[in-house]
A and B are shown apart, each in its own frame.
Chain A
Amino acid sequence: MNLLELKISSAHGVQYVKNLEKATLTPLFRGRPEIDTNISIQELQRAETICPSKAINAKMGILNLGKCVFCKECEFVTQGKIRFTNDYKIATNDPDCLLIRKEISSNIRLNENAIRKEIRSYFGRALKLRQVSSGGDNSNELELYAAGNVNFDMGRFGIEFVASPRHADGLVITGPLTKNMAGALNICYEAMPSPKLLILAGTDAISGGMFADSEAIDRSFLTKYKADLYVPGNPVHPLTFINGLLYLLGRNAME
């Protein structure tokens, strides 16, 4: 190592976020939304009307995080009666937990009872994932890559992305699932040995997002297979992804 490299190393310093569970993001970060209990039906209707991805159902007073593209417009039109907190722990294994209601403003959790038994015993200590983009816009892909970079360093938990589906314990899908990728996606999933995890990363993957009613989309794969983890985001924040996985695996982020 020459002098310049030493200088670079010293400026680089320690980069990894020590406690991934306790890190705080900037106040403006759009994470888990909350709905005020005293929100009026008119306000909810305004939000439903402006929402670009039909994530809000005013009558039921529900915001579906699986459809939300995090544009924050509902917060602007309701003067903050719907508001986005910077809580990035929004991944869950239960689609019901993605429904934000005005009555309850609690953290988004995993439904422990719905976690398949073999997940923790097989993958609790090491998990290899294969990512497939099916119409992803490359922002989710970059964030998943970042989950393993010097800052977030997911590798410390024995979780990493691998090149071959044959080496993978789980599939992470990004993008709304295009028709043109349907064949390859199936082949990839089938090539993975069982038992295997299925993870949907990003709003596009969870619900199709803005592309849900495009004729170029084919989501039939998801009628065949059930996801083990839904990670909302546009794109997914690395902290959301890592924390979601750690909870699924029953791991402690401080290890």
Chain B
Amino acid sequence: MIELRNNDTSVPLSSITPLDYTYFYELVISLLSIEAKHCVSYFAHPEKDGWLCICCIADDETEKIMVLAHKVKKTRSKTIPALSAKHPALHSYEREMHENYGIPFANHPWLKPLRFPQGAADENSTIQRYPFYSLTGEGTHEVGVGPIHAGITEPGYFRFCCNGEKVLHLESVLGFQHRGIEKLLLKKTHPLQQSVIAESIAGDTTIGHSLAYAMLAESLSDTKISARLSMERGMALEIERVAMHIADTSAMCADTAYQLGQVACEALRTITINTLQAWCGNRFGKGLIRPGGTYYTAYHETLNQIATALNDVKKRYRDISDCIFTLPGMLSRFEGVGALTHKQALQLGMVGLTARASGVRRDIRSTHAFMSYKTHAFNPNIMENGDIHARMMLRKIEVEQSIDLILSLADKLAALSILTSESTPGYQLQYQPESLAISLVEGWRGEICHMAVTNEKGEISQYKIKDPSLHNWMGLSIAMRNQQISDFPICNKSFNLSYCGHDL
């Protein structure tokens, strides 16, 4: 077992000694038995005669990331016991390995296809043939929705098994959005191409994912960046968070027919994303984050624009929130609905805002600090109830907290000499050969993890991306159990998960 840190230098692959599976299994179970440790990535790396399965467990107390591995031979026909049987949080990782490579897991509680990629181990598995659970009995029925939904959104299919109005079970079929990004990143070898693709992993998380990519490229090539750049990146990440949390508040108001809240938040989101447009020419920040540098240094004018806009947003958003959280009509839709307990959140490996709403203190900004969070200590907020109310309230709190952070970063940046301009992006990166690196970013939805393995020529031979939605979709399914089917839209919005980020 070796240890790494977030956005640190890469480690040689040879330092990872594969463990015997029985030992690996016991070790992972014992490590994951405490709340402060969780698995941030677990994937199969193809080798000549099989797969090196690499598992990364982050320790929130020591900021260390433990890397352990085991090998599965291609010729193996005997099953290996699934970790998910004891630790459901690992279900999607094992499903992915099973789907992509046919690695045989035994006793997996939910060994269903994950995203129907091209070249899957089972050729007969297509999205039209998803193996649903079904329910029979008096008074039970099933409701299917999707993959195309009523709004302007991404596709995904939901099937509810109901007893009357009550949802007993929700199954989400995902994969419609699959674009083959992880494979594409191996074909498109230029860092600019990779950076542009990273921006599209989930366009609503442009900053989060492009930052994770840039940090990974910098780790693999031992590139150091300036304090200014790291502050600018932190600021951009928080602007994205503010914009999306406000967008979610707006959507929530729309779904509960509170029009004033909806339109007022729409306007505030516009103001927020327009600061990104003024800064770099794109409302989502596409083009802003590149490895090694940027073309858009935030000078005084930009910083002033950002500070003025966000001061205004902060005041007005607080007023709207004060309204929302005192309206009985809204509260009755939020309180006690779609709850995920602390225990469930841990079992499912929830991350990000949804985890924090259920009392799980998980926030990469504080536990595995990166960029400006290394120098500006960050203290995440936690709610206990895990219901829609907790998730919405946490958005309100996080918006204020993020704006304060943006304002303080803008202040610090303004104090820097305008002569210290940023270096421009570096595309001539030399990656360490046969190495492994990891980068973790706390995006607005939660923990983003990018990992890469390089070959003997220093080319990326495997790229693994984890959007927070990979974990959190199952949380939505569990939160919907025993709820009214009519509450699904607002419950779904309170999670607001990514389809393309999951399907990649």
A residues apposed to B, CB below 8 Å: 2, 4-5, 7-9, 11-12, 15, 25-26, 28-30, 50, 52-53, 69-73, 76, 84, 131-146, 149-151, 161, 163-164, 175-176, 178-181, 183-184, 188, 204, 209-211, 213-217, 234-235, 237
Contact = CB atoms under 8 A, between A and B. Distances in A.
B408 interface: no
Contacts of B284: 139, 235
Interface of B: 116-119, 127-128, 147-148, 150-155, 175-181, 183-184, 187-188, 190, 192-193, 196-197, 200-204, 206, 247, 260, 263-264, 266-267, 270, 274, 277-284, 286-287, 295-296, 315-316, 319-320, 322-323, 424, 498-500, 503
Given A26-B274, A140-B203, A234-B286, 7 more contacts: A8-B316, A132-B155, A137-B200, A138-B203, A138-B499, A139-B200, A181-B147
A89 B68 CA distance: 53
B196 A210 contact: yes
4 pairs of A and B residues whose beta carbons are closest in the complex: A139-B203, A137-B203, A216-B180, A28-B281
B177 A175 contact: yes
A141 B152 contact: yes
Given A50-B192, A135-B500, A137-B201, A215 B119 contact: yes
A5 B128 CA distance: 48
B204 A142 contact: yes
B187 A183 contact: no
30 contacts: A8-B316, A9-B260, A29-B277, A29-B281, A50-B192, A53-B196, A71-B192, A84-B281, A133-B177, A136-B154, A137-B200, A138-B202, A138-B204, A139-B200, A139-B204, A139-B284, A163-B150, A175-B177, A179-B118, A180-B127, A180-B177, A180-B503, A184-B148, A188-B148, A209-B200, A210-B188, A211-B184, A216-B179, A235-B203, A235-B283
B195 to A, nearest CB: 8
- From A25, A135, A143, A216, residue with most partner B Cβ within 10 Å: A216
Nearest to A164: B150
A4 B322 contact: yes
B263 A72 contact: no
A137 B282 CA distance: 15
A47 to B, nearest CB: 12
A150 to B, nearest CB: 5
A11 B118 contact: no
Nearest to B205: A138
Contacts of A73: 192
Contacts of A5: 260, 323
Nearest to A86: B281
Given A28-B280, A72-B295, A138-B500, A149 B266 contact: yes
A178 B147 CA distance: 13
Contacts, number: 192
Contact of B319 (A4, A175, A188): A4
Contacts of B116: 180
B267 A12 contact: yes
Contact of B196 (A2, A26, A69): A69
Given A5-B323, A145-B151, A184-B147, A216 B118 contact: yes
B176 A184 contact: yes
Contact of A217 (B153, B179, B190, B260): B179
B263 A150 contact: yes
Contacts of A2: 323
Contact of A8 (B117, B264, B286): B264
Given A52-B193, A70-B287, A28 B277 contact: yes
A188 B202 CA distance: 24
B278 A214 contact: no
Contacts of B274: 26
A76 B202 contact: no
Contacts of B270: 15, 146, 149-151
Contact of A26 (B128, B176, B192, B281): B281
A70 B127 CA distance: 33
A142 to B, nearest CB: 6
A207 to B, nearest CB: 14
A166 to B, nearest CB: 12
A141 to B, nearest CB: 5
A178 B176 contact: yes
Given A178-B177, A180-B177, A181-B176, A133 B320 contact: no
Q: Of residues B177, B278, B499, which shows the largest number of chain A Cβ atoms within 10 Å of its Cβ?
A: B177
Given A138-B202, A181-B177, A26 B277 contact: yes
Given A8-B260, A180-B116, A180-B177, A70 B286 contact: yes
Contacts of A164: 150
Contacts of B193: 52, 210
A208 to B, nearest CB: 10
A25 B192 contact: no
Contacts of B287: 30, 70-72
Contacts of B283: 143, 235, 237
Contacts of A50: 192
Contacts of A146: 266, 270
A214 B203 contact: no
Nearest to B180: A216
B180 A133 contact: no
Contacts of A72: 281, 287, 295
Contacts of A138: 153-154, 202-204, 498-500
B294 to A, nearest CB: 11
A52 B192 contact: yes
A8 to B, nearest CB: 5
Contacts of A69: 196
A50 B281 CA distance: 20
A52 to B, nearest CB: 4
Contacts of A133: 153-155, 177
A8 B267 CA distance: 11
Contacts of A237: 283
Given A184-B147, A210-B196, A8 B155 contact: no
Given A11-B316, A145-B151, A215 B183 contact: yes
A245 to B, nearest CB: 15
B233 to A, nearest CB: 18
Nearest to A12: B264
